[in-house]
Amino acid sequence: MTALVRASLATLASAVLFGTAACGDGSDKKTSPAAADTGASEGLLSNRAVDLFAMLPEGVRHPEGITANPVNGDVYVTTFVPPSAKLPDPANKLLRFDRQGKLLASQDFGKTPLLGLVFDGANQKVYIANVGNFAGVDSKIQRVAADLTGLTDVAIIPGIGAPEPRRVANPDGSNDTITFGGKARVPNAMALDGKGDLYVTDSFQGAVFKITNPQGCAPKCDVATFSHDPLLATAGFPAFGANGIAVHPDGSALFIANTGDDRVLKLDLTSRKVTVFAESINGADGLAFDPAGRLWVAANQADEVVALDGAGRVVARLGEFRGLRVDNGSPDGLLFPASLVIQDGQIFVTNLADAYTDAVGDEPEESVKLWTVSRLALPA
């Protein structure tokens, strides 16, 4: 389903949720005050408003990772442009914006695509997932000071291959076996726990790696395989398995998005058991917990972000894609939202806006000329 069709469905769904109907006199009348207050019959919060936070400089494409400095409100963004994109200048960058969306600084990474970011507030450092494999070199974790000076290697991501095949039961009693390929090392998202240890997902190897005390061991930190599970791999679309990652507020578990499987997984930090926490999040990508304990998920194929409660139920839906701006060809709203960060009562979201099908003309992403970072209000 193309993003434009998804947007039309989302707009229709929003109208239904709010109980509105277009009337002959041109006004909108709400069918129920309760529905207007909650957005749905069971307390589902729904708000499709999206603000523009920042426009990327001309020629800088595909914002992917995002993190923020809670001290001064600076927002950091990576770009993901693999050499396979065959652009004349596939320059990847780490960008630093102030809290008003003004570009303060940038770091050039050339042909090496970048994915996730995480901010180490205790040491004022930004950790970067560098997917060197896509450019013919080592994939690694790097870090830089908050002002984007002093880029340093932290660790090389090891090649451990694909996890074992996954057996899937069918309703008729039969079973399917999925065998995965996993030659590429694709560090994607990262999370720091309360001890300062770093967890890294690998989307192609179906793994979660752990770097103990990265602040003290860089530039040659050991990388331990914390989990290598079939549930962390995918044969679906988009073809990224373990992706966004977040530590539960009580420190008991990691929550991990599997993009191709449309799932959010739970990895118990004591038993290391991986279980399915939520299903059918269309293109589950970036993850973040808010102060109320809700888990927010960037649904990159639905052009929205959703919140999950402690049982894995969707309790809020925010954002939509409203088309491309006529004046500059930038997305109006969310278009392939990849990663998110929550700060000061707001959700900041990168619009990757990357075309993923082979067909020509079926995705609005193909017509984007300027790329954006969006901002949404965090519901109470």
Question: What is the CB neighbour count within 10 angstroms for residue 175?
Answer: 9
Question: What is the CB neighbour count within 10 angstroms for residue 341?
Answer: 23
Asked if residues 259 and 339 have their Cβ atoms less than 8 Å apart, the reply is no
Report residue 183 CA to chain centroid gap: 23
Q: What percent of the chain has pLDDT over 70?
A: 88
The H or E element containing residue 43 is none
Considering just the CA atoms, what is the radius of gyration of the chain in Å?
20
Ranges under pLDDT 50 in the chain = 1-41
Q: In the beta sheet, which residues pair with residue 350?
A: 373
Asked if residues 332 and 324 have their Cβ atoms less than 8 Å apart, the reply is yes
At 87 the pLDDT is: 74
- 301 vs 212, 232, 253, 256, CA distance in Å? 34, 19, 26, 17
The answer as to CATH 1.10.1740.10 being correct for domain 47-157+185-377 is no
- Sorted by sequence, the CB contacts under 8 Å of residue 22 that are 6+ apart come out as 28
The pTM of the whole model exceeds 0.95: no
Picking from 376, 328, 373, 377, the residue whose alpha carbon sits closest to that of residue 53 is 373
Q: Would you list the domain boundaries of the chain?
A: 47-157+185-377
The Cα 74–Cα 67 span in angstroms is 9
**Ramachandran category for residue 235: left, alpha or beta (phi over 0 → left; psi -120 to 50 → alpha):** alpha
Omega cis (within 30) before 219: yes
Picking from 323, 318, 326, 308, the residue whose alpha carbon sits closest to that of residue 376 is 318
